[in-house]
Structure 1
Amino acid sequence: MIEQIRLNAVKWLHVHYPSDEDFNLLVKEYGFHPLDIEDCKTRIQRSKIDIYDNYNFMILHFPYFDKNNRFIKVKEIKIFWSKDYIITFGSAHWVIRELFLDLRKKIDDGEKDTLLISSDMLLYHMLDGLVKETQVILQRIDAEINLINKEMFNRNAQKIIEKISITRKNVILLNTTFKPQLRLFHKFESGEIKGFVGEDMEDYWGNILDHYQKNWDMIEDDGELLEGLSQTFDSMQANRTNEIMKMLTFISTIVLPMTFITGLYGMNVKLPLGDHPLAFAMIVGFMLLVVIFLILYFKRKRWM
């Protein structure tokens, strides 16, 4: 199904759940390259921009949280961009869908948006909305990392491990999503990718690049911080394990001579003091002396 709104001299078509009939209609009317149509039918393409004489075709990726607000997923955004039109495909990122519905409502209400005077400006508003929404996601990642940092000294290790694993997975996905697109956005700012109207768009593309670069820096910082927190947590867990093993070793060392003495006097052979009326008290007293001696020895050696 093809939905359409007109903004001054620019058309915005959104093809929701495109069918072969929709693709054939677009090829017939706009002359799109067959490879671009094939890319529109295929999911999970690499981010790219193909430049033609009369239009450009872009594939971009932007993140969003799943229904449980735990794991980050990626929406693939495919855009045909020309002087007279913008065409978006499929179940696009909700930012684009919201912008489309908002503009359609303004048109139905008789309002005009003087900023959207060209396809270049419309594309700018799309990218600006997507980049700003990504900043909101990164702020949530930062908040999660700060929470991990605060809870790290709690005893609930399993909970911390789960949070670190989920957050690390999200940061890795953001890294692999944003890194290839950084070069693409540099092409806008450098002028390698030009608009279709005479107005100067370099400042606008530069603004998008600044926000995108800031997002990328935040992702790198989050990755380094998360790696440091993970190593710190691993060290803390190793120290706790060592402390437990140390205490168990002390107990075993103290119990060992007592076990030897009780085992020795438990044999059916004649032993010194075996027939003495105070033998039991003397043996217990000797074992207590051994325990006290070992504890004092460990403390003197600063082992406990």
Structure 2
Amino acid sequence: MAIRIIKQKNLTWANIDKVDEEALKYLMENYNFHHLDLEDLQSEAQTPKLDVYKNYLFVVLQFPTWQLHSRTISTQEIDMFLGDEYLITIQHTKSKEMKNFFFRCMRNRKIKSDWMNKSSGYLLNRIIESLFSNSEPILNNMGRQISKLEEEVFSKEPDVKTVRELAIHRRNILNFRRIIDPQRYLISNLTHTRKPFLDESLTLYFNNINDYLSKIWSIIENYKETVDGIHVTVESLIARRTNRVVATLTAISVALLPLTLLSGIYGMNIDNLPFAHNPLYVWLMFLSLATFISVILIILRKKRLL
């Protein structure tokens, strides 16, 4: 079943882990939600937002999740309807974190009493706080991987694997920033929204979430600066290696230029070329070219072009 319900006194928490016909029918039969909100539920991806109505709030939140196999950060969207005596959480894709949170509340009487005896706004706060707290292990994992990459860059020449790892980290940081940034403004708006189920007593709790998001933002900005610095370093090392290869090839071309010139001249079908019929000239030419090439290589070595 896609719909599970917990009741505590006058508060009902309905958790929907799949948006299907059964879920939409349940919402239409039991609540008087705006049809645009129900249409939004059927959209796979939305922008985080807060819609304030007379009797309820419609909240769209997004949270970062770690995809182990692809090593990427993706978006977990959870939509919420918040009213005086109810809270409805809706998942577009099943969330392990939300499932664990819901079953903790269902099976533990003390937790259920603590979370649901106050108001739907307080329960909303606990859910948001719990879901955002799952960002910390993701950040710690990213930090360890970035530190490891930094050590590799400064301990050996960067290769294709290093460049690929750097690209993965840059993408993950951009995804994380894209997810977190809109939530900061949404939570700030939620803090200043006043309803009977969302009064001033909850301001401190939502400010605490805002402070936590600011901390996350500060950490991810530090990661961004670190990865940008590593990116510049890798580009410099690759450019230096490329310049070294180009310089070596240029030196070899310059050293072989006299040989190319002489072979071109004596390869022409022209009579009476100097020393053309002297059997010792070939060895004399080889000796002269070897000496010339050696002198050029010594000069290039002294100028550190090789």
Q: TM-score, normalised by structure 1?
A: 0.87
Q: 1:174 aligns with which of 173, 176, 195?
A: 176
Task: Say yes or no: does 1:42 pair with 2:43.
Answer: yes
Q: 2:163, 2:214 → 1: CA distance?
A: 30
- CA change 1:180–1:159 in 2 (3 A) is same
Partner of residue 98, structure 2: 96
Q: TM-score, normalised by structure 2?
A: 0.86
- CA change 1:147–1:293 in 2 (3 A) is same
Matches within 5 A, 1:1-304: 1-90=2-91, 91-107=93-109, 113-118=113-118, 119-153=120-154, 154-155=156-157, 157-189=159-191, 191-193=192-194, 196=197, 200-264=201-265, 269-273=271-275, 278-304=280-306
Once the two structures are superposed, residues 235-293 of structure 1 have per-residue CA deviations (whole angstroms, 9 ceiling, x without a partner) of 22111111101001111111111333355456674555555564343222211221222
Corresponding letter in the other structure for 2:36? L
Corresponding letter in the other structure for 2:245? I
Corresponding letter in the other structure for 1:138? L
Query: CA contact under 8 A between 2:64 and 2:74: conserved in structure 1?
Result: yes
Q: 2:10, 2:19 → 1: CA distance?
A: 25
Bigger shift: residues 238-247 or 292-301: 292-301
Q: 2:70, 2:46 → 1: CA distance?
A: 25
- CA change 1:46–1:111 in 2 (3 A) is closer
Query: CA contact under 8 A between 1:5 and 1:12: conserved in structure 2?
Result: yes
Query: CA contact under 8 A between 1:56 and 1:80: conserved in structure 2?
Result: yes
Bigger shift: residues 269-278 or 149-158: 269-278
Q: 1:35, 1:89 → 2: CA distance?
A: 16
Query: CA contact under 8 A between 2:3 and 2:17: conserved in structure 1?
Result: yes
Corresponding letter in the other structure for 1:216? W
Identical positions, percent? 28
Provide the secondary structure at the position in 2 that maps to 1:200: helix
- CA change 1:115–1:61 in 2 (3 A) is closer
Once the two structures are superposed, residues 170-226 of structure 1 have per-residue CA deviations (whole angstroms, 9 ceiling, x without a partner) of 22222222222221111234x235561667112211110011111122233333332
Q: 2:149, 2:194 → 1: CA distance?
A: 42
Bigger shift: residues 232-241 or 265-274: 265-274
* CA displacement at 1:105 relative to structure 2: 1.9
Q: 1:280, 1:52 → 2: CA distance?
A: 98
Provide the secondary structure at the position in 2 that maps to 1:201: helix
Q: 2:114, 2:63 → 1: CA distance?
A: 27
Corresponding letter in the other structure for 1:136? P
* CA displacement at 1:126 relative to structure 2: 0.9
Q: Which runs of 5+ in 2 are unaligned?
A: none
Corresponding letter in the other structure for 1:15? I
Provide the secondary structure at the position in 2 that maps to 1:289: helix
Corresponding letter in the other structure for 1:129? S
Q: 1:222, 1:111 → 2: CA distance?
A: 36
Bigger shift: residues 214-223 or 119-128: 214-223
Q: 2:85, 2:62 → 1: CA distance?
A: 24
Q: 1:208, 1:120 → 2: CA distance?
A: 14
Q: 2:126, 2:300 → 1: CA distance?
A: 71
Corresponding letter in the other structure for 2:295? F
Corresponding letter in the other structure for 2:171? K
Bigger shift: residues 174-183 or 247-256: 174-183
Q: Which runs of 5+ in 1 are unaligned?
A: none
